[in-house]
A and B are shown apart, each in its own frame.
Chain A
């Protein structure tokens, strides 16, 4: 009875989690409102969703403080990294919504479910990036994953989408299980779910417990699945290809940033003491991902599949920064993941923009002679492709530059050499897209869809890749600032 008295319930400080609470409330409201909307008023759901993201952005920025704010008994933290990532998640998801609007409408998918599931996924990502205990982390991850499974299945009359959703669900659940198992072993050894306490425990003598190696392996397998790193990548191309493009662009952008946060929270904050173990294993995953992703992408004829393999390769580069186990490397990886999300958003946005009623512009052939049909869109796509290949002066170059710099600084020069060699292999398939657009003549003479606000936003997206590439200082400083004070 005394124990209960000493654990008298205290109302936790809610302010750090206000953006999450706001998104949750709004998602529920939109869910209800949508039910009562007639079909022709569906745009209201869309606008409300955008407003939710904008509101969450304002809240996050207004509540931001340099010092990390911990609440809910230490299971939730709002620090600089979380705030920066959250703002980029809102931005990216809002852009995804705008890009997808016409595409969804033309395919009868412009329904409230897409937006509410999207918002729940955003909430899951927000919980992930702000997690400070194993439980919160897992909670966020599952909320995100379940929303994504449902989104893939949204196109229910497409056999391919149904197959993709099934695959995604089964493999995702398996990965979650493995990850959870690894976490439970960690809990068994350290006796705590709190990531900060776990970190402190594992830096001490407890770190020599052999069960921890076992736990590390399971955690890494789980993370590898979620990130799509080789050899746990098999689901990525099928899901990217099978989903409606509007869903692919969702899966391929914002969740990458949440995945990065998952890695940082778990490995850098919880298991920094085990860096000797996971650092070695991550090197293997990184090298394999860069190799398999870049080489296999060459053989793809479908742009979505090609971008899926490119995502695998980029996951490899992302891991390079984490491998170093240094604050500098983490900041480099954070920069990389944000840059990747921006580039990938643009590339998928272009597919959405060029798609028409009954026609998916997801074959490489569909980009033939784009320079003849629209020099401007061809230019934007070329910028995105060169950027993904890591050619200066585009943003993608600085992403590679920062991670390679961190790797060299960690005295892993050979790993940097491996990285650049596979970057050359990768350059080939990005160049092929440029070749199709500029060197070949167009196949059909079907007019390009008008585009409207999506066309404008794709242009902004492409120009951002160019202009931020010429002056990347601000974005770099944001990422470095996230790790400057040790978290």
Chain B
């Protein structure tokens, strides 16, 4: 199909770039420009994935398949469908923003900072592109290392605690994924994820695997009650770390549900979907209430992320009850696509909000909401952008946040009125904590002379935030380019999800 091994390139170019940037040592300027060059090159390399993507094809595209570890039949097998392709684009784009956003604000060990982000970019793309479970796991775990270092080296006061908590928490989840993968290998003699989609498993096996997967991915998403690492990690991470955490890392958990849990153990998932739906609803309502009382801007946005990710998991797990009630895949697909759109949109919006906090933090070195006020006057451009992103977070029509939430709520009505009812409260609660934040930060009177004289965004910051604003609005008013590439892939996936995997079925 394609002469160039595009997926390998978008994985290895940033990793090689990261090594090159590390080699720059203490030459900070060189490190910055190298990092920018590699991040931009990776973004450019990833664009043909979209333009060359054929939405009519049901299976994986841009496939590469080579033997890797013969002893266990582990293969270097890459490929993308519509879902992972979009997430890869989100990754390449976010990393470029992070490099630009950290241009001046990072002064300590610049080359290591930039290098860590580039290496992490390659590893995260590897997770999205891997079609071999062992390869997936290698990327999945390896990516913890750069993030651990980013939080621990460039983080805030409690960075050590947060970094170790982040690492151990996510490691806890993923080792169960390892056991699950090994068990599937034992059953099928293959590490191909797509082979697992066709593997017959008894109900008991499925339920045990379901909980292993759930633990692995729920920690990453994160879902209530295993979410407590996220606010700590976010608050202490440097701005770039928060952006990558919110925009990409959380999506990995959701992606794991899509690639592993739903198609491999559908019978257990349809029996136990209420567990995930209940946890998602708790995240949507309870975590939103928690967000309401936060005094730290980053913490508030972190909790809001958990609530929004609850929407995505809700959309994924509603498919069973919708399919049961309506018997058509179409209704289920709507919620599923909505969840994917929600992932992309949340990537833009949460990334943008964390960048906004970063802009403020660079100026005043505090994240406490009470330290700000009335910044609309000294920083009009910034205030406009912040309000726009806040509206996106609320899910106002015309922003990307609306599209995903609306699709999920709409399909929730086909499943159960009360689920839809509870889910829809997010529109109220989300508005409450977001708008209250905006009110306290943007409007009112400045609490101090320094706040009243804050300089507005500079060109670099304006470009970063502006480009995100354009995307938020673009996907909001014209979601077709995103949704169209999803149809085929989601339909194909749902075929596997609704087919029983019980032996003899």
Contact = CB atoms under 8 A, between A and B. Distances in A.
Interface of A: 371, 375, 386, 391-393, 397-398, 401-402, 404-405, 408-409, 413, 416-417, 420-421, 423-424, 427-428, 431-432, 434-435, 438-439, 471-473, 476-477, 480
Contacts of B175: 420-421, 423-424
Contact of B71 (A417, A420, A439, A480): A480
14 contacts: A375-B112, A391-B171, A392-B142, A402-B72, A405-B72, A408-B185, A413-B179, A416-B182, A421-B175, A428-B168, A431-B164, A432-B164, A438-B153, A473-B71
Contacts of B168: 424, 427-428, 431
A485 to B, nearest CB: 16
Given A391-B141, A408-B182, A421-B175, A439 B69 contact: no
A435 B152 contact: yes
B182 A405 contact: yes
Contacts of B141: 391-392, 397
Contacts of B163: 435, 439
B179 A417 contact: yes
Contacts of B149: 434, 438
Contacts of B70: 473, 477
Nearest to A331: B71
Given A392-B141, A404-B179, A408-B182, A473 B160 contact: no
Q: Which one of A409, A413, A417 has the greatest number of beta carbons of chain B within 10 Å?
A: A413
Interface string B140-170: 0110110011001100000110011001100
Given A408-B179, A428-B168, A438-B152, A391 B71 contact: no
B454 interface: no
Interface of B: 25, 68-72, 109, 112, 134, 137-139, 141-142, 144-145, 148-149, 152-153, 159-160, 163-164, 167-168, 171-172, 175-176, 178-179, 182-183, 185-186
A89 to B, nearest CB: 23
Contacts of B171: 391, 424, 427
A325 B2 CA distance: 47
A437 to B, nearest CB: 10
Nearest to A469: B138
A476 B134 CA distance: 15
Contacts of A413: 179, 183
Given A371-B109, A404-B179, A408-B183, 16 more contacts: A371-B112, A391-B141, A392-B138, A392-B139, A392-B142, A405-B185, A405-B186, A408-B185, A416-B182, A420-B176, A420-B178, A420-B179, A424-B168, A424-B172, A471-B68, A472-B69
* Top-10 shortest CB links A-B: A420-B175, A392-B138, A439-B152, A408-B182, A476-B71, A392-B141, A408-B186, A473-B69, A393-B142, A392-B142
A122 B152 CA distance: 43
A405 B137 CA distance: 14
B176 to A, nearest CB: 7
A186 B70 CA distance: 40
A423 B171 CA distance: 9
A325 B179 CA distance: 20
B474 to A, nearest CB: 37
Nearest to B140: A392
A477 B68 CA distance: 12
Interface centre among A386, A402, A439 (most CB of B within 10 A): A439
A234 B148 CA distance: 34
A386 B185 contact: no
A439 B145 contact: no
A232 B178 CA distance: 30
B182 A431 contact: no
Given A404-B179, A438-B149, A397 B138 contact: yes
A391 B185 contact: no
Contact of A391 (B68, B72, B109, B142): B142
Nearest to B182: A408
A348 to B, nearest CB: 22
Contacts of B167: 427, 431
Contacts of A393: 138, 142
A416 B208 CA distance: 14
Nearest to A439: B152
A477 B153 CA distance: 39
Contacts of A405: 72, 182, 185-186
A431 B148 contact: yes
A392 B175 CA distance: 12
A476 B171 CA distance: 25
Nearest to B126: A393
